[in-house]
């Protein structure tokens, strides 16, 4: 009887450790495609964790412009200053219609989700800065904005971040 109880307790401890370990390493290779259509826009599937206040955002997210012409490019940068981040999910949206628009250039350590004009991390290593290039559609012009989530760790993230456009930078590349 004692042996069965000891084995049961040992099993329970191992099972709990595996659950906790898997939770800390969930989505190490970026957001899944269903992130685009979830009811909580820009919110990662991180269990009970909820978004931090944008007023406490320790990262700077900037876009080189907001106006686009056919086939033009806009650079978007996440900068951590003195704080690293592990993940991100960014979408490009038309400022008038809120539709997903354009595409991203996939670079090392990123992956794109073309279904919703998004880009995400491809690893969960610490990052101080990440820069991306968005490509406008070849047949449209207008205004775009970039929104998404920055993940510091599994339980600490900021959702619905919107990239700032420095003054006099409404132009496109």
Question: Does residue 52 surpass a pLDDT of 50?
Answer: yes
pLDDT in tens, 69-86: 999 999 999 998 889 999
What structural domains and CATH numbers belong to the chain? Answer: 28-162 (2.60.40.4060)
The highest-confidence range among 11-25, 29-43, 121-135, by mean pLDDT, is 121-135
Reported pTM: 0.77
HEC per residue, 87-131: EEEEEEEECCCCCECCEECCCCCEEEEHHHCEEEECCCCCECEEE
For residue 53, what pLDDT band results from cuts at 50, 70 and 90?
A: confident
Higher pLDDT, 25 or 95: 95
pLDDT in tens, 94-138: 999 999 999 999 888 898 988 889 999 888 889 899 999 999 999
pLDDT at 146: 97
Count CB atoms within 10 A of the CB of residue 62. 16
- Under DSSP, is residue 61 helix (H, G, I), strand (E, B) or coil? strand
């Amino acid at each position: 009887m004692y042996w069965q109880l000891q084995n049961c307790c040992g099993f329970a401890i191992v099972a709990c450790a595996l659950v906790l370990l898997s939770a800390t390493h969930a989505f190490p290779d970026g957001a899944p495609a269903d992130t685009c259509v979830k009811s909580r826009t820009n919110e990662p599937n991180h269990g009970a964790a909820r978004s931090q206040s944008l007023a406490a955002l320790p990262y700077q997210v900037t876009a080189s412009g907001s106006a686009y012409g056919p086939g033009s490019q806009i650079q978007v940068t996440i900068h951590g200053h003195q704080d690293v981040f592990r993940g991100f999910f960014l979408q490009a949206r038309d400022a008038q219609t809120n539709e997903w628009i354009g595409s991203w250039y996939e670079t090392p350590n990123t992956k794109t989700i073309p279904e919703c004009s998004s880009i995400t991390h491809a690893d969960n290593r610490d990052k101080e800065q990440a820069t991306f290039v968005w490509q406008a559609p070849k047949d449209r012009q207008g205004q775009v904005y970039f929104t998404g989530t920055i993940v510091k760790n599994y339980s600490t993230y900021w959702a619905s971040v919107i990239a700032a456009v420095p003054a006099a930078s409404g132009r496109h590349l």
